[in-house]
Structure 1
């Protein structure tokens, strides 16, 4: 039996309900907009922000009886806090992505075999201060899930693009003012963004036998490769002034390489092929002087990257795949845009390294052979011998899509 003198307000304003204000006989919460109680206390009434639904039931209609599930555990009631109306599906999706990143994707990141804690702990921890990191983490996780679960591809690629867009927005705001504090976050976000840039076109599932092209996935082109080069160069140039701080800072473990004597026959042969290509270019008088200088410079950089990588890391192909693009000159990119065949000769050799790196890096799958195939169509017969070896290495049995 209800106590004499009041009834409960079922449609009162948020403040009144939070304070458990009753509809007192002399000071009623009259549910006006604004209600009298809020006017009296000179505070904003939530009823102004929540107009009654059109065609809704009148106040005289009896409310629906609580379900047994709602009344069975009344001690939960006081802990039911007002919400901002967030969509449950959104945070559940993000939770799924974060879980996948933590237990699966983080183990597939560059150098994760030696420095897993960087990807699994340090990067997520720093994202609490710099949310653009967590958005890129979720984007990479979504790309990875889309790669593994093609039946959910459309849904997951949409999530990946949404999170990547938000990450880029956050990065842009901080890149305008790089400091000794935010440079570490920008380095990590840009590293994850590079993975995302490659992952968005990963199109071969090597786990299948024979390897399958992912149905519906567009294969990357030379122009896509150029876009990745520009991204890699651009972020690296902006962060260049902070390089010493980054190398000795929060993610310093990623820059510590142990020298080893591991033999890498593939990279040894690649070095020989690049030197032979350099000789062929120097002997061809039909090549303009400026093109010869530009292309030879990039060959030298690729050779340098390859020789250093072999001495310092087990995954030397991945090291070259991400490092060489940082060093290439803008004029060389211009030659690629013009589809200069001498410049494309070097690109084919790089694609061969990229293809070899695919063995341990899912986000690179399909890049090497796709770009090399495009370049191969543009190279004249006189240069067939120069690209014979890399094309032989790129040969693989990919089942055609139906």
Structure 2
């Protein structure tokens, strides 16, 4: 019997062939299979290096050479945006836009004003500003990945490709936000909030092999998202005078600083505050935690409030560099506050893009905190252990 011809597996085929698990001839700019099937052909980044620079999203406002969000730099970079066909609109793209326009999965609370913004204004702006168009396509692809597990790998790859393209096109806009592009820029910022949570918490080596993240790497991923969201807030605040029509999305009604909550919730908040203050080691640290906890109360999701889930996100955008650094340094009081936030995040009922990240946050903190914090961790652990209510259906 003749020996079987050996085959060296290539890791550098196009994303379409990888998704279908077929051999790719790696033809550029379009491989043979994609040429034959008349579909777009995209190649991933060969090296495992991120293509986006680690700096604040807001840095682009006054920076002549704007760079992209600090947080995005650690997300997987599946595609080189220069190799995507940015000038074409494929059948797949039309399918995604149809999905976005017809399926009720709006990024924020689906009240009448927001429905008008996301389903009418956003598509109109998207066809004038391609960075928003690709952001919408990425978001729609992630929703399809959530709805249809059988095709989740293909839709996730497609989402990440569109997201990378959106961010690449958005980069030059950051240094030149004007009345004619402000609405589209801020709509993309809102989508970035959702996409950043929806993207899978994964990593890969230079050959594209999936890696298991350590607890520390998961914590870094969450921190990246938190820094990203704060940058989004700064971008939104920089041009609100031009975007009054978007007020239903970005203008949330926070609680009053001296608000008193239902007795059971007040007990929870006071226990958290007492434990945090008991471990303060300096006046500067006391000021930092005071501000953080004050905002935690202001953005506590009051039951039945139409802004409840928006408030949970809003707290994340308010955090100082000092608090984020305290999390990075794994200081117990900061980690404890983060765990309570994770428990609230877990309970968002209409935010499919959050996935299980709230529960993951609580688990991360539980693994990092010393044994002496077991009692104060009971509440977030209990809340994160509950099944999430059913999320938006198609």
* TM-score of Structure 1 vs Structure 2, range by shorter chain: 0.5 to 0.7
Q: Structure 2: state its 5+ residue gaps.
A: 1-84, 203-209, 389-394
The answer to which of 122-131 and 112-121 deviates more is 112-121
Correspondence for 2:324 among 318, 323, 333: 333
Rg: which structure is higher? 1
1:141 to 2:135 alignment: no
| 2:383 corresponds to | 393
How much does 1:315 deviate? 4.7
Give the CA deviation at 1:256. 6.3
Residues 1:355 and 1:153: Cα distance change in structure 2 (over 3 Å): same
Moved more, 149-158 or 266-275: 266-275
Aligned pair in 2 of structure 1 residues 269, 138: CA closer, same or farther (>3 Å)? farther
Provide the residue aligned with 1:278 in structure 2. 273
Aligned to 1:383: 373
Pick closer, same or farther for the CA change 1:311–1:155 going to 2, 3 Å. closer
The C-alpha deviation readout for 1:209-236, integer Å capped at 9, x for no partner, is: xxxxxxx997892211111111111122
Q: Distance in 1 between matches of 2:262 and 2:125?
A: 36
Q: Tell me the CA shift for residue 312 of structure 1.
A: 9.2
Q: Which has the higher contact order (CA 8 A, sep 6+)?
A: 2
Deviations 1:111-152 (A, max 9, x none): 124321211111001112111111000000101111111221
Which of these residues, 271, 293, 299, is aligned with residue 299 of structure 1? 293
Tell me the distance in 2 between the aligned counterparts of 1:302 and 1:335: 16
Residues 106, 115 of structure 2: 8 Å contact kept: no
Question: 1:102-251 residue pairs with structure 2 within 5 A?
Answer: 102-104=101-103, 106-114=104-112, 115-201=114-200, 221-246=218-243, 248-249=244-245, 251=246
Secondary structure at the residue paired with 1:368?
helix
**CA–CA distance in 2 between the matches of 1:302 and 1:169?**
34
Q: Which has the higher helix share?
A: 1
Deviation track 1:317-371 (CA, whole Å, cap 9, x = no partner) reads x1122101111001111111111111001001100110111x2110011011111
Mapped partners of 1:298, 1:334: distance in 2: 13
Secondary structure of residue in 2 paired with 1:180: coil
RMSD across aligned positions (CA):
3.2
Q: Is 2:135–2:166's contact at 8 Å kept on the other side of the alignment?
A: yes
Does the Cα contact within 8 Å between 1:368 and 1:394 map onto a contact in 2?
yes
The change in CA–CA distance for 1:218 and 1:232 in structure 2 (over 3 A counts) is farther
Report deviation, 1:163: 0.9
Q: Matches of 2:110 and 2:212 in 1, distance apart? A: 28
CA contact (8 A) 1:183 1:242 kept: yes
- 1:199–1:364 contact (8 Å) kept in structure 2: yes
Shift of 1:240: 2.1
Cα deviation for residue 284 of structure 1 reads 4.0
Equivalent residue number for residue 353 of structure 1: 344
Q: What TM-score do the two structures reach when normalised by structure 1?
A: 0.65
Contact 1:202 1:366 in 2 (8 A): no
- Taking structure 2 as the reference length, what is the TM-score of the superposition? 0.66
How far off its partner does 1:283 sit? 3.3
SS at match of 2:368: coil
Partner of residue 310, structure 1: 302
CA, structure 1 residues 364+130, in 2 after alignment: closer, same or farther (shift >3 Å)? same
Q: Kindly tell me: are residues 116 and 365 of structure 1, through their superposed partners in 2, closer, same or farther at Cα, counting changes over 3 Å?
A: same
Superposition deviation, residue 311 in structure 1: 8.8
Contact 2:123/2:133, CA 8 A, preserved across alignment: yes
Which deviates more from structure 2 when the two are superposed, residues 234-243 or residues 130-139? 234-243
Distance 2:337 2:316 in 1: 12
Q: Which runs of no fewer than 5 residues in structure 1 stay unpaired? A: 1-85, 204-215
Q: Would you say 1:368 and 2:367 are equivalent positions?
A: no
Q: How many residues align?
A: 288
Structure 2 CA distance, aligned partners of 1:100 and 1:273?
Answer: 41
CA distance in 2, matches of 1:304, 1:377: 28
Question: Using the alignment, how far apart are the partners of 1:336 and 1:257 within structure 2?
Answer: 26
Which residue of the partner structure matches residue 344 of structure 1?
Answer: 335
